[in-house]
Amino acid sequence: MRGQEHIFGADDAEIARGIKSWRVGIVVGLSILLGGWRCTSAHRPIQAQSAKALIAGGRSTSALTVVPGVSSSSAHFDGNSQWVLVWSDEFNQSDGSAPDPAKWTFDEGVGNNGWGNNELEFYTTRSKNVVIMDGNLVITALRESFTDSSGVTRNFTSARLKTRELFSQQYGRFEARIKIPPGPGVWPAFWLLGSNIKSVGWPSCGEIDIMENKEASTMHGTIHGPGYSGDNGISSTYNLAAGHRFSDAFHIFAVEWEPNAIHFFVDNDLYATRTPADVPKGAQWAFDHPFFILLNLAVGGNWPGRPDSTTPFPAHMLVDYVRVYRRSNNQPAAFAPVVCKNAKRLVVC
């Protein structure tokens, strides 16, 4: 996330913002609606109805979109058997459970200057802000006055999870199936930070933003490192067809990361590749060591701006799964030049 600071424990600073060669192992169906790709849940229809009932009752969850699509419970990435699943969270605990403490820890509070971005939320671990529901991790941003034990008050709450000191990996495929909330001023993100952040700091640790969003139809994928961080991060965008919004359905966001290359995907589309040739002259390529995973839903901040009267609250970010793979042969893929799809401009990736 752009120019953010993050805390470990009390004061340690963190930050982060930010292939075509894969296929789904078991496909229930593929829905191409109104000219745009939509990956939506095709199973658990009874649970989807219960989620709708919970929304009506004011619970911290969100109704699922139940139309033909990719089965989120069985659609494991295959890639011609080039990949081996090494870590995942399917969020299949019972409704109302907290995230698995063997896989996730939390950032709490307001960070340094709103996590370095003048963000407006207070991150908590309460079930109102983060809970398992209907086979999804649900991160909920609430508009509420919240004061912690030290007297810090904010008008929004939300949650941020991380795998720091529990799981990290150098290279591989990192993917998640996510449905983001609508509205200006909310900032969902799925991203990676270098595990050496405590010793070298940010941005020297490196940051890979697999997905972050501030516009209805545009997704951003970005890398940050020394000499190319914050607003100077190296970024690409993926745009849906006119009339489509990312908040309308689940989508799969992924990177395939190998020595000297990071490939960015939305659903089946490779839309950007970053290499050491992209960083400023003399700058370090900061992507040669293990990284850990983060998921969060921020409110406001310098990048997305403040929410307004049209922003729906509660705002729900649903995560169906997070999966991490490594190549079975430990060899990088050979990517033919691909013309990026749905980007603001057509470029060769």
Catalytic residue numbers, as ranges: 207, 212
Reading the block at residue 109, the tokens are 């509070």
What is the C-alpha separation between 196 and 284, in angstroms, rounded?
15
CA distance 239 to 121: 27
All residues at 6 or more sequence positions from 95 whose CB lies less than 8 Å from its CB, including other chains: 132, 133, 134
Q: Return the H-helix or E-strand segment holding 61.
A: none
Q: How far is 66 from 94, CA to CA, in rounded Å?
A: 20
Q: How many residues does the chain have?
A: 349
Among the residues of 5-73, which ranges form H helices? Answer: 45-56
Residue with tokens 């340094």: 112
| Rounded Cα–Cα distance for residues 250 and 291 (Å) | 25
Residue 40: which of 18, 70, 13 has the closest Cα?
70
